[in-house]
Amino acid sequence: MMHKALIGFDINEYPEIKVFQKYFECDFCEYNEDYFIKNISKYTILVPHLYLDLSSKLIGQADNLKYLFTPSTGTNHIDLQAVKENDINFYCLSDNADFISEISSTAELAWLLILAANRKIIPLNRRVISENSWKNNDIRGNQLKNKTIGIIGFGRLGKMVYEYAKSFDMNILIYDIDENSVLGFENHAIDFEGLIKSSDIITLHPKLNETSFEMINKRSIKLMKDGVIIINTSRGDVINSEDLLSSLESGKVGFAALDVLKNEFHSGKLPNDPLIEYALDQNNSDKILITPHAGGATLDAHKVVFKHVAQTLRDKIYE
């Protein structure tokens, strides 16, 4: 059987996806909903992008789809129940722990956001570019040494951030709902409430599930230190956006640096999240920094990820 693949990326922007042509007949297209509905029945393989929520409605149109491999660790942009009901073989990067353990892009971005937030990089840059001034005494951040960082979610990325924090001589607290995740790190482990009460910086790395959904909310924020810094490179739904917005306006949260937001898997347009409107106001640039889910989006990571996805599909299909 000749397998035809829809690869949801523009080959001009992602030349590394040419690797799929070694194994399959391919169309490369950053499809929208209309294209998907009209054309998905042509394909037995789908490698989706992250800009469209693959709902049960869309999955139901994929009459001939046999294999779906998302080049991501998260899966909340896909209705997995619909995938199962339609008898589609599903894979994601999390299926191979050894492979993703070598990819540090998201953890590195989290650390960049921690540094940018703590040293007030955005206001400092604005001082030079917009205000044409060399004055800095009124825009002073803090050093990380001896500050307390709380790492929520102690899987692959949480452990990488732990190592970065150690090299900066920080006090480190960790929390994970899975007690096995903190084995060997028990002297840093603490319960959720203890972590959020004690941390100067809270960085979020949990998987999105019923436990983590909107775990950062009005109640949990109230327990935090005044002026706490919140970093999120996991999924937008672990934060209640309205509650975080209110806490930024009141000053309870000193700064939020976010690579993910709610409602981001619907198009390449800005997500429908109130934090976007808040960030677009230049007067708030000393309180919030948002990047467009760029955690895993590095040239070298994409090169090895697409090669891994293509070869894994080849092995699964032709084994």
Residues identified as active-site: 235, 264, 293
Burial class (CB in 10 A: 0-12, 13-18, 19+), 223: middle
Angle of CA points 309, 111, 308, to nearest 5° = 10
| Helix (H) or strand (E) segment spanning residue 70 | strand 67-70
Distance, CA of 35 to CA of 32 (rounded, Å): 5
Scanning the structure block, which residue is given the tokens 């000393």? 286
Distance, CA of 104 to CA of 296 (rounded, Å): 8
Residue 18 structure tokens = 């040419």
Cβ atoms of 86 and 63 within 8 Å: the answer is no
Q: Which residues contact 171 (CB under 8 A, 6 or more apart)?
A: 146, 147, 148, 149
Residue 127 structure tokens = 């001082």
3-state SS, residue 239: strand
Residue type, 85: E
Cβ atoms of 79 and 85 within 8 Å: the answer is no
Q: Where are the beta strands (DSSP E) in the chain?
A: 4-7, 25-28, 45-47, 67-70, 89-92, 148-152, 171-175, 201-204, 228-232, 253-258, 288-290
**25-28: strand order across its sheet:** 25-28, 4-7, 45-47, 67-70, 89-92
